[in-house]
A and B are shown apart, each in its own frame.
Chain A
């Protein structure tokens, strides 16, 4: 095997692994990583039943997180006045396996794993922070569809049971924020999120939203800064991106208002979104997702921090190590199980 063939194989493996992860649930609830201490740790918790595993390549991480108060931004600013929050970020409680019980495994999993989960209160809270029961206030027809998806997902006999990520679809809102790690970059008039699956350009430039009949996986985003909080209005959803393997969704009539509130030390943010959709929900509800920044002090890993040290050739001594990010292209996986279900669906 030539070096190039090896490289191609490896690159294929990396991409396939990323793409297959949502379906095989590999390491999803069972972080293989040894606990790794990383700085900065969040403020001490009042009560921590078990040691959270923060910072390893696993995705489980924290069981508790603190809110961040909206207010003034006292951290560094960019020349155009925006708070400087650029860098690599990832959520701190599990991934997209389960929307309302993030560390609770895969709903209706026919081969449930591996380790007893323990009581619900020892796991991270539901991403639904309001209503207080942590459940999406679905209308009955929508709740039925979600259940159908959860059952159908494991042996997808219909095309609609294929998780859209397996078809290289953008992750949509809010799922992109708890899938893999991502990079935030800022420019005059824009905040840009580079996810593993579909870049989001947040316009701060005052343009109006796209015409209503244009529907998009990632929606159409307009934002502005209020102190330490990026406030974003998202419209034009195509309603096709699920919130997780647990199947929750919004429809084409949905509207999402997001607030990304950053801590002034630049280490964390908490995302709060209000989802409104009279077609699917009985009332608006709130999604809360904690995130933390990853820097060159952290060890790169395959979930949250997919980078490697750059091959620096400059003459000046390095103040801050420079990082390279892997290419974010999804194509290899546009077949396989996706086509299997499509073919069966045609029969």
Chain B
């Protein structure tokens, strides 16, 4: 998968052709036919999101529309409707977070980025997909998230997790993920947009073409927001030759000089 989309097995190339022919017979648009015929698929016919992905969006700097600042490039925003509908008290907290963002952003400590921030943080992440689950390895923080697609539901007696608990199902070719049971330690971006441990995220993952995923998330948190809101980015497949994730573990950087033991100077 280093330079292009994983080639489906010949069986599925044939199946793809059959799908296109059938779609043609039904009179679907040529764009839909093309997308349905070309996207990579698992043996069970579901879209296969395996690959290394990254956004080109500036969402991680500040999800909301903003002109250029010293700490952020200008950006029209990734939130549907522009702004995040904070409850009044939460808006005060957001303003405090924003003022202290140069020191208080949890990402600066190397903490796991959470959901959805890990998806649009400007470092690549890799998806490994099987029928029963979809595992995302994030280069930043070296963290791992599993989305179960095995007809299981959230645990009956959950903890609070950094990445929540994610259960996915398919609606056509869209992977719909229900993620909940988060802790309150992560932010949505570097601008201090935040949530409580009541966060609930519903994600929708859809191929636009074999190298492009449309990612949308509905964010709900009755402690912090007056209503659910939507955020969306586009993810692009890394197709550079020999591209791979490189471990980005930050907790130890301050101590790097102390390891490993060194031989005596000659």
Q: Which residues of B contact A280 (CB under 8 A)?
A: 263
Q: When the two chains form their complex, are residues A192 and B128 in contact, meaning their CB atoms are under 8 A apart? A: yes
B137 within 8 A of A: yes
Q: When the two chains form their complex, are residues B259 and A239 in contact, meaning their CB atoms are under 8 A apart? A: yes
Q: Which residues 227-241 of A have a CB within 8 angstroms of B?
A: 238-240
Q: Which 10 A-B pairs have the closest CB atoms?
A: A314-B151, A240-B259, A145-B261, A239-B260, A11-B159, A160-B258, A310-B152, A168-B251, A159-B258, A216-B247
Q: When the two chains form their complex, are residues B242 and A199 in contact, meaning their CB atoms are under 8 A apart? A: no
Q: Which residues of B contact A338 (CB under 8 A)?
A: 255
Q: Which residues 167-204 of B have a CB within 8 angstroms of A?
A: 181, 183, 185, 197
Q: Which residues of A contact B160 (CB under 8 A)?
A: 4, 7-8, 11
Known pairs A160-B258, A208-B242, A328-B143; list 7 more (Cβ under 8 Å).
A185-B135, A201-B245, A216-B246, A250-B260, A280-B263, A308-B155, A331-B112
A189 within 8 A of B: yes
A218 within 8 A of B: yes
In whole angstroms, how far apart are the Cα atoms of A299 and B70 in the complex? 55
Q: Which residues 118-148 of B have a CB within 8 angstroms of A?
A: 126, 128-130, 132, 135, 137, 142-144, 146, 148
Q: Which residues of A contact B146 (CB under 8 A)?
A: 325
Contact size class for A?
A: 35 or more
Q: Which residues of A contact B251 (CB under 8 A)?
A: 167-169, 330-331, 334
In whole angstroms, how far apart are the Cα atoms of A311 and B165 in the complex? 12
Partner pick for A8 among B1, B109, B197, B247, CB 8 A cutoff: B197
The interface on chain B, measured as residues whose beta carbon lies within 8 A of the other chain's beta carbons, has a size of 56
CB nearest to B152 among chain A residues: A310
Q: When the two chains form their complex, are residues B129 and A240 in contact, meaning their CB atoms are under 8 A apart? A: no
- Evaluate whether A217 and B247 lie within 8 angstroms (CB atoms) in the complex, with A7-B160, A167-B255, A185-B135 already known: yes
Q: Which residues of B contact A8 (CB under 8 A)?
A: 159-160, 183, 197
How far, in Å, is B123 (CB) from chain A's closest CB?
15
Q: When the two chains form their complex, are residues B255 and A7 in contact, meaning their CB atoms are under 8 A apart? A: no
How far, in Å, is A192 (CB) from chain B's closest CB?
6
B88 within 8 A of A: no
In whole angstroms, how far apart are the Cα atoms of A168 and B142 in the complex? 11
CB nearest to A142 among chain B residues: B261
Q: When the two chains form their complex, are residues A162 and B255 in contact, meaning their CB atoms are under 8 A apart? A: yes
